[in-house]
Amino acid sequence: MLLLILLTLAVFIAGCLYVNFLRKVNHWKNRKIPHAKPVFPEGNYRGTGSINLGVILKSIYDSGKTEKVYGFWQFHIPTLMIIDPDLVKCVLASDFSHFDDHGVYFDEEIDPLSANLLTLGGSQWKCIRTKLAPAFTTGKMKLMFPMMLKCAEDLREVLEGPAERREVIEFKELLARFTTDVISSCAFGVEVQSLKHKNSIFRIRGKEVFESSWEVLLRNFIGFLFPGLARFFKLRIYSKELTQFFLKFIRESMEERKRENIHRNDILQMLMELRDKGFIGDADDSSNSKFRVYQYSKEKFTLEQAAAQAFIFFTAGFETSSTTTQYALYELAVHPEMQERVRKEVKRVINKYNGSITYEGLTEMEFLGRIVEETLRKYPPASNLSRICTKEYKLPGTDIVIEKGTQISVCIYGLHMDERYYPNPEVFDPDRFTEEQKAARHRFTYIPFGEGPRICIGYKFGLTQTKLGLATILSNYTVDVADGKTRIPPIYDPKSFFFAPKDGMHLKISPVARNGQ
């Protein structure tokens, strides 16, 4: 009987979805907007589960790249992809107030970690973003740099033995442990040492967030496509165990610091200020931010709000930076002459600063910087930016009016791999990012961290730990392609929301020759 009930329910739901799909199938045609042809039930997401989402979105972008905008369907949801860089600028920056919401499902009551800077919209997002902005200034990065250096030294030590033995290393997991250590130290003031202890609790919890299981994918799938249904059933994006662990850790850490009168230059300390005072440092700090998005407010953070922001900084930071670092090493292994060129630069700058990697020294490593920029072009941390139109908007230079509630897509990967802006886009060429080359391109054809008021708040931190990891490895070791192990080109994990390499990133490591310059 139960099986019959479940089968009947499944048929009923499928029927409702099909009727809803038919009702929307002419959405873009009726608005005279060029569009892809949808297929039930996936719309234009054909291959979901067997093809990486970024690759699917790029194929949609390529189909419509001669247009200014292009309509498509994310399953049953009509979505407008913004193709033209001038219009991308309008959506992300110039007319941001019409598109200030990601439209991502969250429920702060049953799933408090889900109500973070990435998912919040409108006034909630504006308030928290303004409060957190002073935590990510260049000055704050410099204060955190000594903590990063300690983790970089651990990375050097961990690689020393395998390098002497000329071993093949799986860099995806290794670098995720490195960035976990960096962020745990800089965010929470704790040395989790996951580089030396693979089963550290922070690494285990971090892996849980990006676990590519079908259960996790299904939760995200329902939350995105059926947010009303998700709220009705009180769907959790993050497990109860993960939430309890993180809330307990933040609460106990704050209590210990207050009790012992401990003060550290880390993110947790700044979140404590927000909880106690409602602001970081002086109230005037927020006026220095690039985008003044919200009138200054002294409303204090709750424990749950503080934990949610700490959580997203931790999880988003280690996965994206470690992915960028591993792909940079991959490209340098494939291009050994490029690796030697950047190694000479890194060692020259280190020698200038008495044999040490310094914050100032990293900024002087220009070729290393271009390598990171080109890596972010070819393998962006996120393949797509989602927005919701929150106020009716007429696209400049067109007759197109975007209705309130319309789902918007900006395909980062499509823009970055468009031969009109980057000739031979599959070729890894750091010299695309000389000052002359950058000045000749439209600024909004390169948006690895987004742009405008919702640009990634921690992008400076991410760039710093990426460059530090690369400088540490390249000044001490050589990375090479491992025959039979290194996939050329990489194959992207179809179940990952990022461009994570399927089955990891395997490279051979060896010490730098003693006479290397």
Q: Is the pLDDT of residue 498 over 90?
A: no
Q: What is the CATH number of the domain that holds 305?
A: 1.10.630.10
Tally of structural domains, the chain? 1
C-alpha to C-alpha distance for 67 and 484, rounded to whole angstroms: 42
In a domain, 216, yes or no: yes
Tell me which DSSP letter residue 418 carries: -
412 C-beta neighbours (distance < 10 Å), count? 28
Mean pLDDT of the 279-289 span: 51
Confidence of residue 287 (pLDDT cuts 50, 70, 90): very low
The pLDDT score that the predictor gives to residue 294 is 37
Tokens standing for residue 280: 């970081």
Residue pLDDT, tens place only, 236-280: 989 899 999 999 999 999 999 999 999 888 889 989 988 888 777
For 99-150, give the secondary structure using H, E and C.
Answer: CCECCCCCCCCCCHHHCCCCCCCHHHHHHHHHHHHHHHCHHHHHHHHHHHHH
Residue 186 lies in a domain: yes
464 neighbors 471 (Cβ within 8 angstroms): no
pLDDT in tens, 118-145: 999 988 899 899 888 888 889 989 999 9
pLDDT band of residue 288 (cuts 50, 70, 90) is very low
Given this model, what pLDDT does residue 283 score?
42
Q: In the sheet where 477-481 sits, what is the strand order?
A: 168-170, 506-511, 477-481
Position 517 in a domain: no
Q: How confident is the model at residue 290 (pLDDT cuts 50, 70, 90)?
A: very low
Binding-site sequence positions? 456
Three-state SS string over 461-504 comes to HHHHHHHHHHHHHHHHEEEEECCCCCCCCCCECCCCCCCCECCC
C-alpha dist (Å) from residue 341 to 337, 365, 366 = 6, 11, 11
pLDDT tens per residue across span 467-497: 999 999 999 999 999 999 999 999 999 988 8
Contact 68, 84 (CB under 8 A): yes
Window from 159-173, 181-195, 203-217 with minimum mean pLDDT: 203-217
C-alpha 449/C-alpha 85 separation (Å) is 15
* Amino acid identity, position 414: G
Binding residues for heme: 456
pLDDT computed for residue 517 by the predictor: 45
**Residue range(s) defining the domain that contains residue 17:** 2-511
pLDDT tens readout for residues 434-446: 999 999 999 999 9
The residue length of the chain stands at 517
Q: In the structure, what pLDDT confidence band is assigned to residue 284 with cuts at 50, 70 and 90?
A: very low
DSSP string, 311-377: HHHHHHHHHHHHHHHHHHHHHHHH-HHHHHHHHHHHHHHHHHTTT---HHHHHH-HHHHHHHHHHHH
Distance, in Å, from the CA atom of 506 to the CA atom of 491, rounded to the nearest integer, reads 12
3-7, 22-26, 479-483: which range is least confident on average? 3-7
Is residue 516 assigned to a domain?
no
- Answer positive or negative: Cα dihedral of 350, 354, 355, 357: negative
Residues 57-113: pLDDT tens digits? Answer: 999 999 999 999 999 999 989 999 999 999 999 999 999 999 999 988 999 999 999
Burial 424-457 (b: 16+ CB within 10 A, else e): ebeebbbebbeeeeeeeeeebbbbbbbbbbbebb
φ, ψ for residue 399, nearest 5 deg: -100, 10
pLDDT of 56 over the 80 cut? yes
Name the more confident of 515 and 496.
Answer: 496
- pLDDT number for residue 13: 67
What pLDDT is attached to residue 162?
98
pLDDT digits (tens, 9 = 90+) for 292-341: 333 445 567 889 999 999 999 988 888 899 999 999 999 999 999 999 99
pLDDT of residue 451: 97
pLDDT on residue 297: 54
pLDDT confidence of residue 296:
44
Q: What is the pLDDT of residue 289?
A: 41
Mean pLDDT calculated for residue range 1-14: 67
Average pLDDT over residues 152-173: 98
Q: Please state, in angstroms and as integers, the Cα–Cα distance from residue 369 to each residue in 217, 366, 372, 463, 468, following that order.
A: 34, 5, 5, 9, 11
pLDDT digits (tens, 9 = 90+) for 367-422: 999 999 999 999 999 999 999 999 999 999 999 999 999 999 999 999 999 999 99
More confident residue, 329 or 235: 329
